[in-house]
Chains A and B, each alone.
Chain A
Amino acid sequence: IAGITQAPTSQILAAGRRMTLRCTQDMRHNAMYWYRQDLGLGLRLIHYSNTAGTTGKGEVPDGYSVSRANTDDFPLTLASAVPSQTSVYFCASSDSAGGTGELIFGEGSRLTVL
């Protein structure tokens, strides 16, 4: 692993199903983030974690949950998927918590909810 790995890269999901997007980094970064990217809109922050064991809500947290049991992993769970959650999801990390450090992004997970 070099950088950030996301899985799956693409998924089609029936509405109402539960889905977990995985994110793993090997850079020992303290801060990790989940964003969604939709056409015509800027990246929107879903949840973040400044350090292992802590998480916080971003701009659009409803319908999503996260956990940060260790430094490397930051999974995003959709408890009951809805079509409006169709999007491209990016996980990112930074060695500087608090929005002043360079973000390293994963390759993205394209999710379609039908």
Chain B
Amino acid sequence: GQNIDQPTEMTATEGAIVQINCTYQTSGFNGLFWYQQHAGEAPTFLSYNVLDGLEEKGRFSSFLSRSKGYSYLLLKELQMKDSASYLCAVSDSNYQLIWGAGTKLIIKP
């Protein structure tokens, strides 16, 4: 079966750095997405990786290793507003998105 694994919850301190991991087992691979979802709101797009390596976008970076079925989202200089759930999703061989359950990130002052 197809599977996306993320930690359920993580806690970090304001101003620090946090890495949220995502491992996947899917039938085929056509890219990996990260979305941010604040409580009670809709998910919003953060990043898309289809090739191996690191993509940097401001305070957020996303890394992909296709051979390892692994990605991470790196958040730097954490702010209180970064408290949210972070969703990992993989596009499989049929170009269907398979979603992880999300990682709830709690930021403490």
Contacts and interface: CB of A to CB of B under 8 A. Distances in A.
Contact of A107 (B31, B42, B92, B100): B42
Nearest to B98: A42
A100 B30 contact: yes
Q: Is the interface of A mostly helix, strand, loop or mixed?
A: loop
Residue of A97, A106, A108 ringed by the most chain B CB atoms within 10 A: A108
Contacts of B33: 102-103
Contacts of A59: 96
Contacts, number: 56
B97 A45 contact: yes
B42 A42 contact: no
Interface residues of B, number: 24
A53 interface: no
B4 A102 contact: no
B99 A98 contact: no
B23 to A, nearest CB: 14
A41 interface: yes
A102 B91 CA distance: 11
Contact of A90 (B43, B92, B100): B43
Nearest to A41: B101
A21 B1 CA distance: 31
9 contacts: A41-B101, A42-B102, A43-B99, A45-B96, A90-B43, A98-B91, A99-B96, A102-B45, A103-B43
Interface of B: 4, 30-31, 33, 35, 41-45, 48, 50, 87, 89, 91-92, 95-102
Given A100-B91, A105-B44, 20 more contacts: A40-B101, A41-B101, A42-B87, A42-B102, A43-B43, A43-B87, A43-B99, A44-B99, A59-B96, A97-B95, A99-B92, A99-B95, A99-B97, A100-B30, A100-B95, A102-B33, A102-B45, A103-B43, A104-B45, A105-B43
